Structure 1
């Protein structure tokens, strides 16, 4: 039940930010075996709101967003890659039917959002930090168009706020403090607080053993 509540919150949360600048699909089934993408985003506006910070940078190109409540596992990353490959195959078939090449800018990038990740996980996928992106973001080999974002490693700056709110423990608590300190006129403050409040209320309603 906790996982269901978290999944719903994270999908609604990301959709809240991205809906104004592109096409957002949540819980998108991609195969007959029902592989479900948490969030599939395709930008439709050339201008991403600067207030989105790092999240806006992710949204500059088509992408799959897979937020995890618990630390992602090797099997979890493989499952995410499988979804990405399925989407790429579908896009390739569509391009072939239209007798057009699949342009590189139309190939979605996969962003895996995890509260923490061990060095073993990062090393297992040959993921590397890129200086242009800062701490906490590890890119898999280029052909995979995938990166792992370790939320508790992100610098605690306004640019990373919206992603850190998807973290856990102290990472999220400090991010909530930053959110509450924003001006009441901030375009994303009210909606974010409402979603976080609903998540907290729903989790508190669960039996304690179910919240683990």
Structure 2
């Protein structure tokens, strides 16, 4: 996972941008991810379309999100409860994608069973029972709390993020929640071991979201969210600075080791020259100190044929 801040998108909805970036970040190693995928007809865009590798990679580290995306999937995140109209719009995009898949299969003289068609996941921070009843959303033993499956023919499920259990398996989805649900998830990311690559990557995305909110002037809209994002930003900044400091120390050690090796090589060459041609003049010693390690290695081979100081002067002039 990348640890740098991404280029800011001056979108009117920073959450929309954050949710797309987070899903793209965590899913990209396991398949093809397309954000804002345009579908035919009236201009409409799928927030995130994911197509897993074949065969599907091991997505155990993604928890519940990994289970959800074992098949081609449309993911539509909502900061608030979606309206019935918004859900129907998601369904329309799903069936337009199905139409594209089926037309391609027909051109290739192939048959696509319904079970292989892309699945729609509506990710809502919360959802009322009235909304769920309106689309026949029901809980199942296979998926557990918070995952409401529509009738199988719809190829759709709605995730009520606030109802997901507070476990490691649901963490990535709870980051797309709201209020205490999201705050707890952010705190859990902060509590990750600093050596965990997910920590820096997710904190970087949260820091990016904070900056986007500030740029678009929505700071006062969600004070609780800004407090959580500010903490994430500070943690990301500290970790980035620490990594930079450690990198500097490592580079310093390497540079010191190289200088030490160079001095040892210079001393060795000087001893060998003294044995071969006698005392080496101070001015010549100064020239030897300007040679690189590879040059000193070459001189170490050449001096075996030296018989006088003139041989050394000739070599230095040519090299």
Counterpart of 1:89?
99
Return the structure number with greater relative CO, CA threshold 8 A, min gap 6.
Answer: 1
Counterpart of 2:194?
184
Contact 1:2 1:210 in 2 (8 A): no
Choose the corresponding residue for 1:65, options 75, 90, 102: 75
Contact 1:48 1:60 in 2 (8 A): no
Contact 1:203 1:211 in 2 (8 A): no
Relative distance call for 1:100 and 1:210 in structure 2 (3 A) is farther
Contact 1:3 1:69 in 2 (8 A): no
3-state SS in 2 of match to 1:61:
coil
Show the 5 A alignment for 1:184-203. 184-203=194-213
Answer with 85-94 or 99-108: which moved more.
Answer: 99-108
Q: How many residues align?
A: 212
Q: CA deviation at 1:69?
A: 1.1
User: Which consecutive residues of structure 2, in runs of 5 or more, have no partner in the other structure?
Assistant: 1-9, 223-319
Q: CA deviation at 1:210?
A: 7.8
Structure with the higher helix share, 1 or 2: 2
Show the 5 A alignment for 1:1-212. 3-45=12-54, 46-208=56-218, 211=221
Aligned-residue Cα RMSD (Å) equals 1.7
Contact 2:175 2:182 in 1 (8 A): yes
Provide the TM-score with structure 1 as the length reference. Answer: 0.94
The CA distance in 1 between the partners of 2:26 and 2:50, in whole Å, is 11
3-state SS in 2 of match to 1:94:
helix
Q: CA deviation at 1:36?
A: 0.4
The CA distance in 1 between the partners of 2:130 and 2:11, in whole Å, is 27
Contact 2:11 2:17 in 1 (8 A): no
Q: CA deviation at 1:204?
A: 3.0
User: Which consecutive residues of structure 1, in runs of 5 or more, have no partner in the other structure?
Assistant: none
Answer with 127-136 or 185-194: which moved more.
Answer: 185-194
